[in-house]
Amino acid sequence: MNLYNLKHNEEQVSFTQAVKQGLGKQQGLFFPDNIPAFDDIDALLDLDFHPRCAKLLAALLDNELSEQELLEMVTKAFIFPAPLAEVSDKISALELFHGPTLAFKDFGGRFMAQCLAKFSNGNKTTILTATSGDTGAAVAHAFYGMENINVVVLYPKGKISPLQEKLFCTLGGNITTVAVEADFDACQAMVKQSFDDEALKQAIGLNSANSINISRLVAQVCYYFEAAAQLSKAQREQLVVSVPSGNFGNLTAGLIAKAMGLPIKRFIAATNANDTVPRYLASGNWEPKPTQATLSNAMDVSQPNNWPRVEELFKTKGWPLSDLGKGVMSDAQTAEAVKALDDAGYVCEPHGAIAYQQLTEQLAEGEQGLFLCTAHPAKFKESVEEILGREIGLPKPLADRADLALLSKEMPADFAQLRELLMSI
Ligand SMILES: *Cc1c(COP(=O)(O)O)cnc(C)c1O
């Protein structure tokens, strides 16, 4: 697979290189220079989940990894299903939250971990990341138990939810969690300082497991095919997919699936009040505003970093950008949507509910709708319970961890202490 830097087209790398490097020159994103299309989608959809993932990834990566290698990797990474739940005869939810950290980021994170493990060739690797909650959990679980890879996650002490903390600070083994006596920005600054320290970088094989890593996106392509495979042929020929969007990685993956021949009629990019993209689609002007805190906080992004990939894809495929549906929801509308879904018999959290509401408003006669449920309702327990006025249960992965002891180390925001810790593991 050949990829080019969207900011410096002459910088071209293989998939392996793009995964190891994360970003190109000047923080440019890597983008595939060719997306292969399947002629016989029905035959592909007839395959079981893992063999289908291996086949479509082998094609997308242009056999840089063999189908057999990919089969092993996806079997280890995707250890949970992506089922459809029917909300009405015209609308289904694609549930992407059955992984260990209850959000769709488990798909990308776990496949990226498989890639990094494979490409490190047994050399010692240290993944260092700072988190305000979600990413840290997904990264920690994705690498848990892997040989020669250590993960260190920094987080602001007392500033993430107790449940979040239980989810990834109870693992132990190759996962070290550090509660820093400072805020998230200070944690991030310590991470940055580590990456600027060449001697440290070399000594411990530092890598970042970055959220814009191309391996995450290719992994996410797989569940769009899995969704279509669960629909009838007639349904999937009329498919409209609504994606709750923050950094627009999920939408990028869906568009790649369409470019590979999956018959998706159109997409809806649904956002919360952080609506830089919907405003851009309406006016043609890119005018980010300060980020606002909302009920759907994983989408509180005003400068979505995957957007250049979306535009490049529309451009190279010759699709008009006006084909992309859009929709913006306030918190009050989001709460109404959570209630409406509950009335329809489906408990959903705010992110998925935003996608649902926009889908119901924009679905035309004869079309079949799919919305992405990006997190388990329990992951946003407080807001869902407040909106619905009743308690919702904890799913097993969280319930199992709730009684375990926290294993985090505590540390002031002091780089020298972090460096010492990194060198000692
Ligand atoms: C990350 C996240 C999103 C946004 O996905 P993008 O790929 O960044 O657009 C939506 N919902 C949840 C629950 C998330 O964690």
Give the tens place of pLDDT for each residue, 172-199: 999 999 999 998 888 988 998 998 999 9
Atom of ligand 1 nearest to the CA of 352: 11
3-state secondary structure of 116: helix
Q: What is the mean pLDDT of the chain?
A: 95
Query: At residue 84, what are phi and psi to the nearest 5 degrees?
Result: -95, 140
> Which residue, 27, 30, 38, is CA-closest to 2?
30
Burial class of residue 205 (count of CB atoms within 10 Å of its CB; 0-12, 13-18, 19+): middle
3-state secondary structure of 315: helix
Contacts of 106 (CB under 8 A, 6+ apart): 80, 99, 100, 138, 141, 142
**Strand blocks (E) in 139-216:** 149-156, 175-180, 206-207
267 lines ligand 1 (CB under 6 A): no
Averaged over 326-342, what is the pLDDT?
98
**pLDDT value at 326 more than 90:** yes
Atom of ligand 1 nearest to the CA of 220: 7
- What is the end-to-end Cα distance of the chain in Å, rounded? 35
Atom of ligand 1 nearest to the CA of 247: 8
350 lines ligand 1 (CB under 6 A): no
Averaged over 137-161, what is the pLDDT?
92
| Alpha helix segments (H runs only) across 120-161 | 134-143
Averaged over 152-157, what is the pLDDT?
94
| Residue listed under structure tokens 């497991």 | 209
**pLDDT value at 121 more than 90:** no
22 lines ligand 1 (CB under 6 A): no
Count, residues in the chain: 425
User: Residue 160: what pLDDT?
Assistant: 85
Testing ligand 1's pocket by substitution, the residue of 94, 101, 102, 104 carrying the most ligand atoms inside 8 A of its CB is: 104
User: Residue 81: what pLDDT?
Assistant: 98
Task: Please state, in angstroms and rounded to a whole number, the distance separating the CA atoms of residues 20 and 16.
Answer: 6
28: its two tokens: 């440019």
Give the tens place of pLDDT for each residue, 211-255: 789 999 999 999 999 999 999 999 999 999 999 999 999 999 999
**pLDDT value at 420 more than 90:** yes
Provide, rounded to the nearest whole percent, the portion of the chain with pLDDT above 90: 84
3-state secondary structure of 374: coil
**Cβ(412)–Cβ(181) under 8 Å?**
yes
Averaged over 314-338, what is the pLDDT?
98
Give the tens place of pLDDT for each residue, 279-321: 999 999 999 999 899 999 889 899 898 999 999 999 999 999 9
Q: Which residue ranges form the domains of the chain, and what is each CATH number?
A: 81-101+216-391 (3.40.50.1100)
CA-based radius of gyration for the chain: 21
**pLDDT value at 402 more than 90:** no
374 lines ligand 1 (CB under 6 A): yes
Q: Are strands 30-32 and 12-14 parallel, antiparallel or unpaired?
A: unpaired
User: Residue 109: what pLDDT?
Assistant: 93
**pLDDT value at 134 more than 80:** no
375 lines ligand 1 (CB under 6 A): yes
Which pTM does this prediction carry? 0.94
CA of 243 to the centre of ligand 1 (A): 9
82-96, 166-180, 188-202, 319-333: range with lowest mean pLDDT: 188-202
